[in-house]
Amino acid sequence: MVFVIDSNIEMANCVAKACGDCVVKIFHNAIEAMQALDNCLPSLIFMDIDLTGPNGFSFLNEVISYEDTSKVPAVIISDLDLSKFDLSMYGVVGFLNKDTMKPEDITEYVTKYTQ
C-alpha cells in the first residue's frame, strides 16, 4: 500500500494514478495520515511539505518517532528545492519537483519500494 499526502486534491489524484495497480490511500492533511498509520503501515509515502495544518516536517517528525513507522520510506513531492538537503534521517529516500516530474518518476519509486 502507498500513502499519498497532498492538500492539492488534483495533484494527489495524479500521483495516485501514476502508482498504477498498487493500493493507494490519499490524505489531504498530516493529521488524517497520522491517524491512518495507527491501523496500517504503507510500503511507501509520497508527500508534499506544504500541507494544510501541520506541515510535512511535523508529519515526518512524528513518523520517525515510532519504531514501526520509522522504517517507512518517504518521497517528498514539492515545488521547493530540497534536493540539496540530506533528509535521510527523516526516512526521506527521494525528492520529486512538482514543476518537472513525470508519472514515470513516481512509478520508479513504487516499483523499487513496493515489490
Chain residues binding other proteins by CB under 8 A are: 8, 10-11, 13-15, 17-18, 79, 98-99, 101-103
To other proteins, the closest distance from the beta carbon of 16 in angstroms equals 10
Q: Judge contact between 61 and 91, C-beta under 8 A.
A: no
Pick 25 or 98: Cβ nearer other proteins: 98
Q: Which helix (H) or strand (E) holds 27?
A: strand 24-27
Pick 71 or 102: Cβ nearer other proteins: 102
To other proteins, the closest distance from the beta carbon of 51 in angstroms equals 13
Calculate the CA 81 to chain-centre distance.
16
To other proteins, the closest distance from the beta carbon of 109 in angstroms equals 15
Pick 53 or 103: Cβ nearer other proteins: 103
